[in-house]
Every structure is written in structure tokens, then in C-alpha cells.
Structure 1
Amino acid sequence: MTTKNKPNRLFTEKSPYLLQHAHNPVEWFPWGEEAFDKAKRENKPIFLSVGYSTCHWCHVMAHESFEDQTVANMLNKDFISIKVDREERPDVDHIYMAVCQAMTGQGGWPLTVFLTPEKKPFFAGTYFPRSRKYNRAGMVEIIAQLAGKWKEDPDRIREAADQVITETTSRLLENHSVGVMSEETIHEAFRMYESNFDAENGGFGSSPKFPTSHNLSFLLRYYQKTGNARALEIVEKTLDSMHRGGMFDHIGFGFSRYSVDEKWLVPHFEKMLYDNALLIMTYIEAFQVTGKAKYAEVAEQIINYVLRDMTDEGGAFYSAEDADSEGVEGKFYVWTPDEVEDVLGIDEGDLYSELYDVTESGNFEGHNIPNLIGTTMESVARRKQIPLDELKQRIEAARVKLFAHREQRIHPGKDDKILTAWNGLMIAALSKAARALDKPAYAEAAAKAAEFLLRELRREDGRLLARYRDGEAAFLGYVDDYAFLVWGLIELYEATFELRYLREAVQLNAEMLRLFGDEEKGGLFFYGSDAEQLLTRPKEIYDGAMPSGNGAAALNLLRLSRLTYDAKLSQAAEVQLQAFAGAVASYPPGHALTLAALDFAYGEASEIVIAGDPAKPETQHMLRTVQRQYLPNALLILHPPGPAGEEVRKLIPLVQDKLPLGGQATAYVCQNFACQAPTQNLEELENLSSKH
């Protein structure tokens, strides 16, 4: 971004995205009363621009228009310009994105909306070039036309804006369709996933392709529930294809946000924390279901990336890495054969290039994205007559050298703000990995992040906040912040059996219901009753790139109700599922996490209590026997002896009469509030738990 201009009002903000625009000649305001008061006082419409720091087309529009003096002069003369980071204010983004979709039939970022001084929208779109091109109207002509129309007849524009609000509100309320879901909804979801599956390339539909790993997690549940092998085939084909493609960073690890083609070759190079958290979970689950080490390896590679590049010194996790470096998308990640040869030498360079599709012609704008789409380690080992283990060692040595060389390049920008919701997902992911792989270090990393959030992102009154950066926590937490953090804390309890995390989950869950609950119609609003009240108060149930807060909350409510025997939570979960039943039934594949909650509610959920001293090997063996299994509808509880056990009994009444028999670690497997005979035999425990 240009720095020759004097700073505007964004200069004092913490958001990396807003700071990118702090020296634009546009006289930007952050979202707030100062901007709205000025708009009303001067009777000027508002130009609202919403984006995020790692958004490629946001960068393009900023360079073309917001750094351009002509565009800036036009905006400064006739509009009040407001810049919003969608990751700090997802409530604002959510509502005006719905406006854009209602008015144009599509959405995306940058989001461009023109508002009346009362915040009512009358024109919307996404990326606009400075002047007309790509068959798109240009900013110069749009600004001139809208400024002229406002001066001619502002009342007419206000009337049109009222109609837009009516239509948008109607669209937002479509999510809320009360009914009753049944297990048939789960089967219908599978049929629709199957019909949309790309059998050749993996994934669903055509390009662009997003990982949407929560859909794959649902299919793993479905496989376990029904034994339908097709569900597992879809998951494995997709996970394998994504990992082989260029969307996975084969040199530094981690996944990009999506693939622009159907083969997963060319990514949109930005890396988002939430994608990588969700993918860790799904690869771990695939490992648990299949026992195939390759899925555990991918999960650990993602974790390696997150702990190396995306972790704050305080233990929390950064938000994203940009697609661009030096103003060029993907420049940091691509290679030529000569570059590879310079780093590795001729023999090793040729070997690496043959395996990873690095050619003179290139596979991306004359350069190469390393990928395994057309080849495998096994095929190259056979062709080169190299033992497979030797080839793997040589390729790993090559990767380490290429990574070290790549580190000397100019890195893409990093959005180092800490978002509560996304951190909650990563805490959940690391906790799952710690259990399944018996890696306590992952649980330690999750615990460190949880402690950071609970310490730095809560006010003294306990209210959760959404964003932390540069020593400042701000913005009242949204439903996703509460739901995803509660999810993470439940998973962290099952990884560490530290009762404090479960207590915090119960407390935050109660606060979530109080702040976001709709007592009249059920479900949870996106922003709290104590927050700024916008044009409307939406509820989100659709699972997009991330699962919805309402879906996560439904599953949390069910798990906490079973742990604490709190009938109110069970009832709240039932209301939660009923509140959105119509929307879910209308398109089941768009609601994977809600379907997981439905499966938990109406399936065969169970509790597994291990009573024993956690310091003793037999207790640890029992815990690990359960933890390595894929048991999505089971809750694992440790009931230790002594004062610690008393604390557990206060919070989890189920364990009251479940004691170590004869002083030896003992397992109790319970389903539908009835328990099997206790066992001290590991093989019997594995058989018992695997049935639940």
C-alpha cells in the first residue's frame, strides 16, 4: 500500500487490514458513530468497503482505486467512506453480504456497498476496477452516477433502500424454519453428497473447490453409523486428492484456502487458520477410522506448520497468511527447474522435479506448483529402481533444503490478529490429535492457547471478546466465538482431563444462551443482545467455509447435557434442532455439523468412564485404548480417586458410583443412561467402546 499520503483515521486501528489502508488518499473512517454522525450531519451517503488482509482482490481494488487520487477525490467529496475488516466485524459483513447476494445474486470480497446515512443499502457489488473492464462497471463511473442520483432525489433512494432491507431481512429469516428432523434427513444428506461427488478428482461439484472438511467429517460419521463403504470411499478419495494437489504446501505444509480448478492443482494461495484446524480434525478422524498412517502424517504436517508459523509467543494462533508477496499472487510458493537444481544439485533436483511435476513449461503461469497429482513415491521408486524407504529419505532431505531456501524469499503478509472463534477450532483440532496420536505436546499447545483466550479475551465481567492484537482485546464476541471455544474446551478436557476446562465450557455455554438465545423462536442470533444492534439480527445455520455457530452449539449442548445431567441443556439442544429443521431439511448437505448433532441426539451416544489413578500405567492404558478409537458420539471421563474425584462428581454426576474395583483401574461403558458391567480388561474395553 502507498505510504506517500498522510495517515487517515485508520492509522490508530489494530486490524492489519485497516492498517493496510491507513495511508490511502481516501479519507477512511472505521465503522463507528463518528462516521455515521458526519454522514447525517452533511447528508452524504456512505461508501462501505469490507474485506480482509489476505484477500487478493481486496489488494487489487485497493491498488487500482483506493490509492488513486481521482477516485479518492470523488469519494471524499460526495461520500463518507468506511472500511471494515470482516474478520473483526463478521456481523456487519454478514448483513451487507446478504444485501449483496439479494441485489446481485452473488457475493464475495471485497464487498462494496453504498448506504444512506442511516446505514440502509441502495447499491452493492464486490470487486470493481477503477475504470470499466472485464465487462464490469468502474468505480469512477459508479461513484459519479450514485453521487448524482443522491443529489437529485435522496428520498427516492431511501425508499429503494427500505425495499432492499425488507428483501434482505426475508432472506436472512429463511434460515429459521421450525420443524422436526428425523434420521431420514441424515440419509438424504448422504445421497446428495454422493450425487455431487467428483469421482475423478475428489471433492464436490466443479471449480472452485473448497475443502469444507466438516462435510467429510459427517461422511465419516455416516460410514461408522451405517457401514456404507461408499461414504468412506468419498472421504478417502477427497482427502488423498487434496493432499496430492497444489492446494497442499508440499514444502512448508499447511493447506491453502481453496483450489481454483477441479483437480486441486492451483490454489488460491492464502492460508487460513480455520481451514487448517478443520482439516486436522478430519485427517485425524480418517486415521482413526482406517488406521492408515498417511492420514496421521498429513495431520501432523499441518500441525507442524501451525506451531511453526502461525503461533504467537503467548500460545494463541494467528489468523492467516496472504496469497501475495511482492505484489504477485503465489510468488512465494512456485519454482522453476533451474531453481530446484540450484538448491539440490542436478541428480537430486531432477529426482525432486520428476516426482513433484516441476517442468520447463510449468503448471502455473510459467512456473511450477509442486504437486503429486500425476505421480506417486511408489511409481517413481519403481521407475528409478530406488528402494522406497531410500527415496522417501532423499525427498525429505530435498524438502528441508528447499524449505530453507524458500525462507530467504520475501514472505507473504501475515495477519497476526488472534480471533477467538478460529482459535477455538484449533484448540479442538490439537486436542483431537493429542488423543488419537498420543502426543501430549499437542494438548499442551492447545492448553496454552486456551489459557491465553481465557485470560486475554475476556472482560472482568466474563464477557468474551472476539479479537486480540498488539495488546488490545476488542469487539464483543459473536456466537461463533462462544460456540467454537466451548467446542475446543470440551475437546481439551477429553485430552487432558483438567476439570477446569469443562467448567469454563459450561460457564461460557450458559452465557452464550443468555446473550444470543431467542426465547420466542429458538436458535441463536449471530451477535449478542448487548452488542450494537444493526439493521436486523440474523441467525446462521448454513455451513460454508466454516461450520455455523448454531450447528456447533447444538452439538455442544448435547455433549454438555450428557456430561452434567442438566435437563435444561438437553431441552435447549432439542429446541436448537427444531428451530432450523425446515432449513436443514431443504438442503441437508449444507448443514453437516447440525446433522452431526442430530446423529448424536437420536443415535447411540455413550459415556465411557475410566475410574482410576491417572498416575498409574493401567489407567493410562485404558484411556489410550479409548482415545485412539473413532467414537464421535462417545464422551470420555476420568474419575480419579481422592479430592480430585470429589470435584469431578460435583460437575459430572454420572461418575458417582463408578469406582476402581479392587483399587485397579476400571472402565464403565454407558449408553442411553444404562451401563454395561464394569471391566478391567483392555481388549474387552476396546470391544465394548467400539460398539458405541
Structure 2
Amino acid sequence: MEIKEGPKHNRLINEKSPYLLQHAYNPVDWFPWSDEAFDIAKRNNKPIFLSIGYSTCHWCHVMERESFEDDEVAAILNEHYIAIKVDREERPDVDHLYMAVCQAMTGQGGWPLTVVMTPDKKPFFAGTYYPKNRKYGRYGLMDVLPQLAEKWQEDADRIREIGDQVMEDTTGRLIEHRQGGEVSEQLLDQAFDQYKKQFDPENGGFGSQPKFPTSHNLSFLLRYYHRTGNVQALEMVEQTLDTMHRGGIYDHIGFGFARYSVDAKWLVPHFEKMLYDNALLAMTYIEAYQVTAKERYAEVAEQIFTYVLRDMTDAGGAFYSAEDADSEGVEGKFYVWQPDEVVHILGAEEGDWYNEVYDITEQGNFEGRNIPNRIGPTLEQVAERKQMPLDALKRRFEVSRTKLFAEREQRIHPGKDDKILTSWNGLMIAALSKAAKALDQPAYAEAAARAADFLLVHLRREDGRLLARYRDGEAAYPGYVDDYAFLVWGLIELYEATFELRYLQEAVKLNADMLRYFWDDDKGGLFFYGSDAEQLPTRSKEIYDGAMPSGNSAAALNLLRLSRLTYDAKLAQKADEQLQAFAGAVAHYPTGHALFLMALDFAFGESSEIVLAGDLADEHTQEMLRAVRSVFLPNSLVILHPPGEAGEEVRSLLPLVQDKRLLGGRATAYVCRDFACLAPTGDVEELEDLLNEH
């Protein structure tokens, strides 16, 4: 993390957020979001200049260099405004509200987010990036700030009326997105038809450019294929996963995916790497491996975990948030190459070959330099042309990659946002747990457990209230619905990976807390922030599954899974209410709600509970378990019923296991579908046959 020190710091010097600390030596007299800032604004009758961003945001860096480090801009802000800086990843509640304002006022949004508002938080101007002076067809801050200050001085009452109207309109839009209705299986078919229309048959993915991975779209399509057998759904998934991995959006030297591609071919990434993207993508590649048995999908997931465990893991076991797009003030500098660099490192023969296969040329593919990619021939085609076995080719390129990685490590690295977010960690816990199961890799479950234990100890208050952010020894901010929903998701997956009952017990407890703090007793669904948190001018509910899925969608799936696991009729009722609360909004635009659709698929599809009675240390139990985990069963729940006292504890939480015990003294599997259990079996092949019947 780079902090540009100056002669004098502002109030942000006392913050923990890497993003806020980046601005601690700006000449702008920044405040963090606080009662102090709004009280001073009211006393001095000044409008608020609100700037929202995050530490790895390229255009946030640009706006800081151009404007917030500039004395002229700072002088205007300091004289006429109270300037507040917000890290959107610490305060997503503030970001969600004012992003909705920006979209309502301008028809678009993004970061940095720029809002000017009254001292009582009512916005009257909004936009995104502004240069210092007019350019790119955009007004500059030196145009906007004096005009707004003058209008405020001339007629603050009229400005307040505008702010009231903007908030009223924004609240109306947010309520409109909460449309309830009756859920229907037809939504799944409608979504598939929309995905077909949006699919890019040449490059994979959906739409044109920029392209976001949005891997939950692909996870839904895998479930649709599993449900219907429609091969086109699987083809869309495979083409997208393959083209994304071959593109420059994937880091072929150090692994991991960038946030999105600016072009349709997945070539040029926006170079920042986010924890949540890599967690979600790892899950989808794991599921694709389960569906297709193609090793390349497992390899990509394992490479993602190599990156995360190597570069994004705290000493305590939790995961950092992101890595920057910029290094040395230049976007992508850390990641790009010239042909002669590669030849110097690898030697002439290997270097020329690597350059050929990874599209590293004299003219370059990105601003005169090169992003390694394999958008051209596949490795299979290269192996055939070179008359080499594919495995030998992969080993040869791995030797080259290792050398290039070692050399790249000597470069100045992009900044790392080392704060720990509960929500994003929940997603990575889920991903590692899924991989531990599917790939039979206990080390992944161990990594997931370390992260979960860290969160459960360090990101909870003494009263059990979950907190959202940890950094530098401090946990802060009452957790949002995403924190609860994603961590519960991760804990359910972790239970199935380890069968440590305490993780499922924590999931049940946190889910109950989530309903207590966030549930809307009037219209159903979950508000974004809790009833005990700071109350903003309007309280929103998020259901859109964009680059990251919504907490409401994850909660719907969690409620369904926990109700089936615990036989809790109240949770089942809440799951129904959760689906109905957003059915109208989802029906309006099904493809914008992929995780919600997965919850619908679970609710309407054939779900199963698989109880394995046996000792986890027993080899036959392990064989049965491997049989269960090798199959793609998206709507299944797997429970271990161990013998002895441990079994009594399981029975107290999960009534389903009550009469399911070892038969003949050996591990026995009970497969239950749609609330009816099939005949138990202790035979692995017979179990495999039962699992493949759907």
C-alpha cells in the first residue's frame, strides 16, 4: 500500500482503511464519514463533498493525482465544502445508497463516485470521475465546484428542496426493485433463453465489452444443464471458462483473475485482482470439473488457490481484499513484457517459443507492451504442431513460467489492500471447501478452517454481533447482510468438507442473527444494513447479482439448505417468503439474478440429503465419501453421522440422522430425495448408481 506523504496530514491519518490512508497527506481537509463531519457542516452551513472509492481503483488514483493532490482544488474544497472520503468496501451501505442516487441522476455509475449533498445527507449533484479541468468531454472540478458553491450561497433552501426530491425519487427506485410475487419454475427457462440471446458465440461470455466474469451466471447454467440435460447450457459454460482462462484477464505467470476485461476477447484486463472474483470463479471451475471430469478446470481452480494462499493470505489465516491495477503509477506495469525480456530470462530457443505461444511480440498487444495470453492456438494444438505429448508440453511451459515468475517478483509490486472483509472471506471459505471436497484435498479445507476460525474470533463483538472489516488489529462496522449471508454459505460448505459440527452450529446461529437484524417484517426480504446500525436516509434491499451476488440471493439459498438440514419449519417458511419477496423483480430481468435463480432451482428441483453413517477415520467411510463428492449434486446436502458421543451431538442438531446408523458394522449411506429415503447401502458401486439417478 502506497501512502504519499506530504508536509501535513489530514484526519484520515487515524483511519485503518488503506484507501483512506492513501489520501491522508492530500491538501484536502478530508473527514472520514462521521457525525463530526456532518455536525461541522450544519454549524457552518456548508454542503458536503462526498468521494467514494476503493484502494485498488485505477480512476480513483487518477482523480487523486489530478485533483485531490492539487492545491487549487483543495483550496476550493476546504473553503466551501466539508469533504468526506469513504472506502466503499468498508461502508457498502453508504456506497449502495449514493450509487443508486448517481444512477438515478445520471443514468450511470462507477468509481470514483462523486456526490455533493446537504449537511443532512440529501444529494443534489452526482457523478463519477472528474478531472481537474474540463477534458475528455467531461466538466472539471474547477468548473463544477465553484458553481455549486455559488448556488448554495445564493439559495440553499432551493438546493435542499432538490435534495429532498432526489432522495424521494431514489427511495422510489429502490422500493420498485423490491417487487414481490409468486415464484415459478418458468423463470429458470426464461433466464436460459435470455442467456442464449446475450451469449457471445465467438468469445464466450455475455454481451460485448467490457466483460465481467460474473461466474454465478455460469454456475446457474451448470445447474440448468443438470436439471434439463440441455447441452447448449454446458457449451456456453465451457466456452466461457476456456476463453477467459486463455485470455489476458488471467495472469498466466502468477495465476488468478483480474476484475474484468475491457474488450470482448478477454485480452486486456482491468488489472486489479479482487478476492471475491477469484473465490467465485474457483467455485465455478470446480463445478465444471465435477460436471465434465476435464482436468483443465480443476487445474485452473488449483492455480487460483495457489495465488490466493501465496499472495493474499494473512498470517492469521484470513484473506486480503485486493491487489491494485497500478504499480509505479502505471496501470498494468507489473504484468506486461517485451520479447527481449523473455528471451533474456529463458534463453533464445525457449524464449522465442514462449513468445510465440503467449502472443508476446515487438508491436505489443497493450500500449506497446505485452499481456501474456493464449487466445491463439490451444495447448493441444501447439502440442500437435510440435509433435509433443501434451503433458510434456505443459511441463516445459511450467519451467518457463516459474522462471518468469521469479523474475517478475523482483519488480515493484502493485499495492495490496490488506484489510480483511468478512463477506469476501466467506466466499473464499466456500470456494476452498468446495475444492477440498471435489478434489479430495484436505489442505484446502484446512485453509478454509483457519480463515473461518479467524473471522469467528476476531470479527465478532462480545455480544456475538458480526463485524465487517478487520485491519491492523481493529475490527469495525456492524456486519452487513452480505457478511452474514456469505459467511453462513462458507460455513455450510466447510461443515461438509470437514464434518466439524461446530461450523454448522455457527452457521445456524449466524443465520438466526441475520434474520433478527435484517429481516423486513412488513414485506419480507433482508435489508442491506442492520436495524442496530447507522440509519441512512433510506434503507435499501439489494437483490441484483452483479459482479458479486447479493446477500439476499445467498440468504435464500442458505435458508433452503439450513431448513432441509435442520428440519426447521420456520426456516422453510422464511425461505418461501424470501423467494416471494423478490420474485417480481427477478421476473423482470432473470439474468441479473443468477444466484437467486440457483435458489429457485434448489426450491423447485429434486433435492437430496445424503447421510453417511460411519467413522471418518475408516477407509470404507472415505471410499463412500469420495463417491459422493465426485458427482455434481448441486442441490444435495451431505451429513456425517458418526458413532458414539459425536453422533449424539449431530442428532441433537439434525433430526434427519436419527435412525440412520451403520449396518453390519460398516459405513452405510442413506440417500433421501424429496423427503423420502431410499434403501440404505454399504456398497460403493450401488451408492454411485443411486447418486447418478436424477
TM-score computed with the length of structure 1 as normaliser? 0.99
2:466 to 457, 464, 467: 464
Task: Look up the match of 1:481.
Answer: 483
Write out per-residue CA displacement over residues 537-595 of structure 1, whole angstroms, 9 at most, x where no aligned residue: 00000101101100000000000000000000000000000000100100111111111
Displacement of 1:615: 1.3
1:265 to 264, 267, 281: 267
Question: Equivalent residues in 2 for 1:281-430 (5 A)?
Answer: 281-430=283-432
For the 8 Å contact 1:478–1:526, the answer to whether it is kept is: yes
Task: Look up the match of 1:552.
Answer: 554
Task: Look up the match of 1:29.
Answer: 31
2:308 and 2:323 mapped to 1: Cα distance?
11
Unaligned runs of 5+ in 2: none
Displacement of 1:174: 1.6
Secondary structure of 1:466's counterpart equals strand
Secondary structure of 2:317's counterpart equals coil
1:280 and 1:388 mapped to 2: Cα distance?
24
Question: Equivalent residues in 2 for 1:236-255 (5 A)?
Answer: 236-255=238-257
1:57 to 45, 53, 59: 59
Question: Equivalent residues in 2 for 1:4-83 (5 A)?
Answer: 4-83=6-85
Displacement of 1:382: 3.2
Question: Equivalent residues in 2 for 1:284-683 (5 A)?
Answer: 284-683=286-685
AA in 1 matched with 2:69 = E
Question: Equivalent residues in 2 for 1:194-205 (5 A)?
Answer: 194-205=196-207
For the 8 Å contact 1:223–1:229, the answer to whether it is kept is: yes
1:6 and 1:508 mapped to 2: Cα distance?
44
Displacement of 1:602: 1.4
1:199 and 1:155 mapped to 2: Cα distance?
55
Task: Look up the match of 2:226.
Answer: 224
Unaligned runs of 5+ in 1: none
2:389 and 2:440 mapped to 1: Cα distance?
30
Task: Look up the match of 2:161.
Answer: 159
Displacement of 1:421: 0.1
2:693 and 2:187 mapped to 1: Cα distance?
23
Secondary structure of 2:67's counterpart equals helix
Write out per-residue CA displacement over residues 615-647 of structure 1, whole angstroms, 9 at most, x where no aligned residue: 110011111110121101000000000000000
Secondary structure of 2:333's counterpart equals coil
2:439 and 2:402 mapped to 1: Cα distance?
24
1:3 and 1:492 mapped to 2: Cα distance?
43
Write out per-residue CA displacement over residues 472-523 of structure 1, whole angstroms, 9 at most, x where no aligned residue: 0000000000000000000000000000000000000000000000011000
Displacement of 1:381: 2.7
For the 8 Å contact 1:477–1:527, the answer to whether it is kept is: yes
2:517 and 2:688 mapped to 1: Cα distance?
41
1:4 and 1:648 mapped to 2: Cα distance?
59
2:666 and 2:84 mapped to 1: Cα distance?
65
Secondary structure of 1:332's counterpart equals helix
Question: Do structure 1's residue 169 and structure 2's residue 178 form an aligned pair?
Answer: no
AA in 1 matched with 2:67 = S
1:78 and 1:450 mapped to 2: Cα distance?
46
Displacement of 1:393: 1.6
AA in 2 matched with 1:7 = H
Secondary structure of 1:661's counterpart equals coil
2:378 and 2:523 mapped to 1: Cα distance?
54
Task: Look up the match of 2:110.
Answer: 108
1:274 and 1:204 mapped to 2: Cα distance?
20
For the 8 Å contact 1:558–1:573, the answer to whether it is kept is: yes
For the 8 Å contact 1:563–1:654, the answer to whether it is kept is: yes
Displacement of 1:386: 3.7
1:447 and 1:388 mapped to 2: Cα distance?
36
Displacement of 1:681: 1.0
Write out per-residue CA displacement over residues 426-473 of structure 1, whole angstroms, 9 at most, x where no aligned residue: 000000000000000000000000000000000000000000000000
AA in 2 matched with 1:544 = G
Secondary structure of 1:554's counterpart equals helix
2:693 and 2:593 mapped to 1: Cα distance?
26
AA in 2 matched with 1:388 = L
Write out per-residue CA displacement over residues 391-431 of structure 1, whole angstroms, 9 at most, x where no aligned residue: 22211100000000000000000000000000000000000
Displacement of 1:613: 1.3
TM-score computed with the length of structure 2 as normaliser? 0.99
1:387 and 1:646 mapped to 2: Cα distance?
54
1:144 and 1:137 mapped to 2: Cα distance?
12
Displacement of 1:691: 2.5
2:146 to 144, 147, 152: 144
AA in 1 matched with 2:478 = L
1:243 and 1:255 mapped to 2: Cα distance?
8
Write out per-residue CA displacement over residues 47-74 of structure 1, whole angstroms, 9 at most, x where no aligned residue: 0000000000000000000000000000
For the 8 Å contact 1:55–1:322, the answer to whether it is kept is: yes
1:264 and 1:329 mapped to 2: Cα distance?
17
Write out per-residue CA displacement over residues 68-102 of structure 1, whole angstroms, 9 at most, x where no aligned residue: 00000000000000000000000000000000000
2:424 and 2:338 mapped to 1: Cα distance?
35
Displacement of 1:5: 3.2
1:654 and 1:388 mapped to 2: Cα distance?
48
For the 8 Å contact 1:631–1:690, the answer to whether it is kept is: no
Aligned residues: percent identity? 75
Displacement of 1:2: 3.8
2:392 and 2:277 mapped to 1: Cα distance?
33
AA in 1 matched with 2:366 = F
For the 8 Å contact 1:358–1:369, the answer to whether it is kept is: yes
1:630 and 1:5 mapped to 2: Cα distance?
59
Write out per-residue CA displacement over residues 281-336 of structure 1, whole angstroms, 9 at most, x where no aligned residue: 00000000000000000000000000000000000000000000000000000000
2:644 and 2:690 mapped to 1: Cα distance?
27
For the 8 Å contact 1:14–1:469, the answer to whether it is kept is: yes
AA in 1 matched with 2:254 = G
AA in 2 matched with 1:667 = A
AA in 2 matched with 1:636 = V
AA in 2 matched with 1:318 = Y
AA in 1 matched with 2:442 = P
Write out per-residue CA displacement over residues 361-411 of structure 1, whole angstroms, 9 at most, x where no aligned residue: 110000000000012223323333444333222111000000000000000
1:668 and 1:230 mapped to 2: Cα distance?
33
For the 8 Å contact 1:608–1:689, the answer to whether it is kept is: no
For the 8 Å contact 1:5–1:24, the answer to whether it is kept is: no
1:213 to 197, 215, 218: 215
1:286 and 1:379 mapped to 2: Cα distance?
22
Write out per-residue CA displacement over residues 643-672 of structure 1, whole angstroms, 9 at most, x where no aligned residue: 000000000000000000111110000012
